[in-house]
Amino acid sequence: MKNKKLLWLVSLLAMLTFVLAACAGDGESESKSEGEGSGEEGSGSGGDLVIALPSDIVSLSPQGANDIPSGQVADNIYETLTVLDENQEPQPSLAKEWKEVDETTWEFQLQEGVKFHDGEALTAEVVKKNFDRLVDEKIASPRAFLFEAVESVEAKDDLTLVIKLKYPYAPLLANLAHNGTAIMSPKIIDEDYAQMEDGGDADAYINKNPMGTGPFKLDEWKAGEEVVISRNDDYWGDKAKLDTAKFKVVSEQSARVAELETSVAHVADQIGPNNISRVEGMDGASVLQEPSTSLAYVGFNLKKEPFDDKKVRQAVSMAINKEEIISGVYNNVGIPAKGPLAPPVFGYDENVAGLEFDVEKAKELLAEAGYEDGFKTTIWTNDNEQRVDTAVTIQNQLKEIGVEVEIEELEWGAFLDRTSNGEHDMFVLGWSTSTGDADYGMYPLFHSSALGETGNRTFLENEELDKILDEARRSSDREERQKLYTEAQEMLVDLAPMIYTHHQEYLLGVSDKVKDFGINAEGIYQIKQAYIEE
Cα–Cα distances in angstroms (integers) from residue 242 to residues 83, 118, 247, in the given order: 21, 21, 13
pLDDT for 87 equals 63
What's the CA angle centered on 180, arms 192 and 68, to 5 degrees?
110
Q: How far, in Å, CA of 125 to CA of 131, rounded? A: 10
- CB neighbours of residue 404 within 10 Å: 12
Q: 335-377, pLDDT tens digit by residue?
A: 889 899 998 888 999 999 889 999 999 999 999 999 999 999 9
- Residues 47 and 121: their CA atoms lie apart, in Å, by 29
pLDDT tens digits for 249-304? 999 999 999 999 999 999 999 998 889 999 999 999 999 998 888 899 999 999 99
pLDDT at 25: 29
Instruction: Give the C-alpha separation, 489 to 496, whole Å.
Output: 10
CA distance to 48, 215, 404, 513, 531, per residue, from 243 (Å): 6, 11, 52, 15, 9
- Whole-number Å distance between alpha carbons of 216 and 37: 13
pLDDT digits 0-9 by tens, 166-178: 999 988 998 999 9
Side chain identity at 368, as an amino acid letter? E
Contact status, residue 450 vs residue 440, Cβ threshold 8 Å: no
Alpha-carbon dihedral angle through residues 386, 388, 390, 394, given to the nearest 10 degrees? -170
- The pLDDT value given to residue 249: 96
In tens digits, the chain (534 residues) has pLDDT values of 444 333 333 343 333 333 333 333 232 323 333 333 333 443 568 999 999 999 999 999 999 987 888 999 999 999 999 987 766 678 999 999 999 999 999 999 999 999 999 999 999 999 999 999 999 999 999 899 899 999 999 999 999 999 999 999 988 998 999 999 999 999 999 999 999 999 999 999 999 999 999 999 999 999 999 999 999 999 999 999 999 999 999 999 999 999 999 999 999 999 988 899 999 999 999 999 988 888 999 999 999 999 999 999 999 999 999 999 999 999 888 888 989 999 888 899 999 988 999 999 999 999 999 999 999 999 999 988 889 999 999 999 999 999 999 999 999 889 999 999 999 999 999 998 888 889 999 999 999 999 998 899 999 999 999 999 999 998 888 899 999 999 999 999 999 999 999 998 899 999 999 999 999 877 889 999 999 997
Q: Please say whether the beta carbons of 84 and 181 come within 8 A.
A: no
Check residue 423 and give its pLDDT. 96
Dihedral-angle region of residue 250 (phi above 0 means left; psi in -120 to 50 means alpha; beta otherwise): beta
